[in-house]
Every structure is written in structure tokens, then in C-alpha cells.
Amino acid sequence: MSGLRIRDLRVSFDGFKAVDGVDLDVAPGDIRFLIGPNGAGKTTLVDAVTGLVKASGSVHFGDAELLGRPVHQIARMGVGRTFQTATVFEELTVLQNLDIAAGAGRSPWSLLRRRTSVPTVVSEALETINLTAQRDQLAGTLAHGQKQWLEIGMLLVQDVRLLLLDEPVAGMSHDERDATGALLGVVSRDRTVVVIEHDMDFMRSFARTVTVLHAGKVLSEGSVAQVQADPKVQEVYLGQ
Ligand code: ADP
């Protein structure tokens, strides 16, 4: 398993410093929550890690440097992300979505070299995301939470090792939130996970480290209780 090590990450848009010298370490198999007011640079940081925006500094996943590589290469190195609005093929079934994702970006030869067959990978993912009963249902007819889980499943079948999730429980019911918590617990057993999140109760249930970003910099880091008690954090949230 590999960890994430970010050093002096910087992203500018026309001179505006959206990410301004961020250091971040996530241990292999850990879950790190990323919080901060709107415009803090959370999405831009994830964009930089996944190759969507140009950045300086260094981003190591295990021994591999991700910065400077194109998006598809970073994806093939086992880095995957979700967006706030789940991007699934609504006109296709749950199973078809997973089948397509399992073959995405891979040559037939690499599919043949996989240790487990695509059907096995897909049925394992179906179980993990709790959608086995919905496998033949059109993705467009799934509940909001189920769509988010399907999107995560589409990354699992691509053998993602570093998972970056953008507000995975936003708009979810209490039960869906609990189920997502359980899913993250399972998924992080053999993956490193970074979650942009606002829901303090959800984060507290994990008792993991939270990194607070503000104006492109790390403002505070610690447990949910520690960052909530940090006067610097209180100030930026009250100032919103
Ligand atoms: P967060 O996800 O924490 O809300 P973002 O990373 O989306 O923050 O944005 C950080 C800052 O960078 C914001 O001020 C935003 O307006 C700016 N920004 C983000 N993307 C772009 C872009 N493509 N062009 C110009 N400015 C951008």
C-alpha cells in the first residue's frame, strides 16, 4: 500500500494563488479529511493531484511523482476521484456502468493479465457498494446515495489505490450517510483515501485527522475536536 506525500504544492490562476505552498502527508491506508471555507483551494488541490490543473511542488504517491504527468497516466497509476455530482451513465444499468469502467483505458492485453477476471472484479465491487440487488437497474433511476456509491464502485473496478472523494455525503439521508461511512471503512482497508467534507458529525465518526485549508494554505491540522477548538479555524468560519 502507498501513501500520499505532497510538498510545497502551488497552483495559480492568472497570478491568483489558489493553492499556496501546501504540505500534506497521508499514511498508506489512512483516510484524511480536507475541510475549509468556500474558495479555500480544496478542489484545486485534488485537481492538481489528479493532473487536471498545472501545479508546482511535488506529489508522490508511493515512490511515483504524479506532477507533470497527463490525467490518463495518473489514473492508470491507481489514482481516482469522484465529483460532487456523480458522473454515471444514467441510461445504462448498474452492471453495465461497472463493466465499462472495468475496461476503461485498458488494452485487451492488460485485461488478460489481471489476476482476477472482470466479472469477479465487478461482482466484488457490487457487493462492496451494496448494489447487488440493483445490478440490472438503470443508473438514472438510482437514489442519490446509490449513484454516489456506483461512482465509487466504478473506481474500485479500475483498481484505484488512491481515492479522492469530493463531499461524498452531501445531500444524503441519515441512513445513506451511515452506509457511506461503512463503505469508506471497507474501501480504506487497502487504499489511501482523501475526502473533501463539510459534515462534522460524519468526520467525527471516523476519528481521523482533519486538515483545514484556508486561502490556499494549511491553516490547522488535528482531530475534529482539535480543529474545531482552534481559534484560527473559528475565525475563518465565522468570517464567512
Ligand atoms: P474550494 O474547493 O475549497 O471551495 P477551489 O479549489 O474550488 O476552492 O477554489 C480556490 C480558488 O481558486 C477560488 O478562489 C476559485 O475561485 C479559484 N479558482 C478555482 N478554479 C479556477 C479556475 N479554473 N480559474 C480561475 N480561478 C479558479
ipTM strictly over 0.95?
yes
Residue owning the nearest CA to atom 1 of ligand 1:
39
User: Is the beta carbon of 166 within 6 A of some atom in ligand 1?
Assistant: no
| CA-47 nearest atom, ligand 1 | 6
Residue 127 has pLDDT above 90, yes or no: yes
Q: Residue 111 is placed in which grid cell?
A: 485485461
Q: Which band of pLDDT confidence, cut at 50, 70 and 90, is reported for residue 204?
A: confident
Which pLDDT score, from 0 to 100, does residue 83 have? Answer: 84
Model confidence at 164: pLDDT above 60:
yes
Residue 58 has pLDDT above 90, yes or no: yes
Model confidence at 231, pLDDT cuts 50, 70, 90, reads very high
Helices 144-156 and 174-187 cross at an angle (nearest 10°) of 10
Beta bridge partners of 9: 22
Model confidence pLDDT, tens digit, residues 4-47: 999 999 999 999 999 999 999 999 999 999 999 999 999 999 99
CB burial of 150-178 (b: ≥16 within 10 Å; e: otherwise) equals: bbbbbbbbbbbbbbbbbbbbeebeeebbe
Residue 180 has pLDDT above 70, yes or no: yes
Q: Report the residue among 44, 165, 167 best suited for mutation to probe ligand 1: largest number of ligand atoms under 8 A from its CB.
A: 44
pLDDT value, residue 103: 78
CATH code of the domain occupying 1-68+193-240: 3.40.50.300
pTM (global) more than 0.80: yes
pLDDT digits (tens, 9 = 90+) for 183-199: 999 999 999 999 999 88
Q: Ligand 1, atom 23: nearest CA belongs to which residue?
A: 13
Per-residue pLDDT, 132: 94
Is the Cβ–Cβ distance between 210 and 203 less than 8 Å? yes
**Overall average pLDDT of the 64-73 stretch:** 95
Over the stretch 84-124, which tens digit does the pLDDT of each residue have? 777 899 999 999 999 889 876 555 555 555 555 567 889 99
How far, in Å, from the CA of 44 to the mean position of ligand 1?
A: 6
Mean of pLDDT over the chain: 91
pLDDT at residue 148 above 70? yes
Is there a contact between 45 and 23 (Cβ–Cβ < 8 Å)? Answer: no
pLDDT of the residue at 196: 96
Q: How far apart are CA 122 and CA 128, in angstroms?
A: 10
Domain ranges (residues) in the chain: 1-68+193-240
pLDDT given for residue 17 in this prediction: 98
